[in-house]
Chains A and B, each alone.
Chain A
């Protein structure tokens, strides 16, 4: 381990000293998981520390242990947690409860659900005040208003119920609630993951400002190295339950010592840069001019072998003309939702088009209309000779044989009960008419195409035996099974860890090139759009606000909204003054 070995004695200004902490999950009827192993570190007062690592690396588990919130089946199996010199790993529950005021607080990963849906926000605050009695009765209202103000919410929010607030507002309320405890230590577990890009940016700014003004010690848990590096002074890097690197942010940015950290860093780039290159990708803006052959493209995981079958190239284009979609009002007395407003574009055969915009901007709705799942309220969509809006069920199948989807969440997109072979066999049988051994052969080809070799082994597997990246490859293979002309990928990598993302993106890019399919790539992640698309369209409130060549738009945005989007992309280099 390349970590600077923490000495047995904590530094004198340490607020929290963790020594040899191990946490194990012991679920009934399953094998135990050692989620955190022998972790030691110290936190000084007023420090802002980041904790990064991939999904499942044990970040949340550690966060819960630090704040003594671990619940069965989790168990602190070993180690000490000294908070202000007192070992909180073993104090009883009432003492612990009292410690929570003026001690340590936590803002949960799924902050959206952290509020009791049936209690008003005001009551949430009052509950905390009542539990600890640290705010006198007559000052409670004022205090609640102060707190809610601190997270930049209007006082009227106090009268609302959680269900009436947006995700970002709810996350702010949880932060305010945690603040109301006047804690010395605050642990933020992925406070912005579930939030929209722009909101994410705003909430992070609030957290940073609060940390500065209130002076508490903060731990920011995130899988996004960019966010952590931008916000914090010191970073702990976690990998498989172990802290592999612990150092100042600027040092990690410029000179990472652990291989794992280096790997994480290598997948990070600024989409606004002149030249964007990641392992496995070459910069797109220069590719066109130089016409470089991209056959050498390889994902870090599996290099697809050369595909032998003859490949059809897309011939039809998708033409979207003046399309609008209005959903009926979600509740009585509200306005109808205008999800898409007068959008027109053409997806030429073989083209790759990015559709970007914040959450709710109508990206998925457009995808649904193109695939016939939803009907446009106005305008027309055509694919070749088909008028997509007027298809009946049988014709919808024809459409699906040409227009396929790659789903966002590879964990949810595969039926856990079917083998990979079955999953891929279905579209093959349904669309190509192949049967028996021919179909099986085709499935093997598909697996080969997406680089899942040895194919025989993968064919027999069940989804839970695959990694996220492998699953996404299966999802892509399924989309290819009908030999489609168009692939619509709706945030195909947003659920994947950094280390897997690049591989999947590279695969998509490669397939498009090789198979000549058109790609509609939907994302809020500008970096990936920059990597694999030629053209881009920026959606805002259902309307297109900017369009053009991807590199051009991202480097020189003209619309204010696009500028805001780009600003929200974390920029650690800017924060730490390094390049």
Chain B
């Protein structure tokens, strides 16, 4: 083998840029100080389902309302996670594990009362007809759930009419589509046209390897998303600013 000085050839920008703080330290700064909420938020961050449930038990024992804990403890913990992910401090698997823990927590809270939590909003997710590449969609769905949205996951290789039917049935605030093949992404156009024909005007967030902004811009409801993390941001944007497609594109179209 020949001997080289790697720094003449390449720069490890990730190593160079790594934050001084560890993820744990960064999270510590963000946890709420409240002593009942703190351990729950921390357990969410750490992705420890058992600790989450344990924390919730204690909080409920101390008189907290199970349903309000969803917003005041679980979501608070999850927001720490999302913030640190957006900042590049933690990685996706941490988010996934936190999401698992949070969902376990929600289930537990619901099991402790007959009240029903007020839903944040529904999103329908699917992978285009003819396409089996679904891990991207799975991430999208997980991140949406982690942000508190109700996800109706239609799976992969979903026929156009089923997608349209699901929108009619579920009345979601947003539809997402994933396609990794140029041969399958055209289904999005069809879905768009059928939705338009039936008078639906909901944002149709589209992403996945094959899909690009130019393509998505070609149909009325399309909003292109590059990363899975854009999906919950889009949903949040819709909740905050309404479902104006032009504004969504202004916000999320980067190319």
**Chain A complexes with chain B:** no
B-to-A contact residues, CB < 8 Å: none
A-to-B contact residues, CB < 8 Å: none
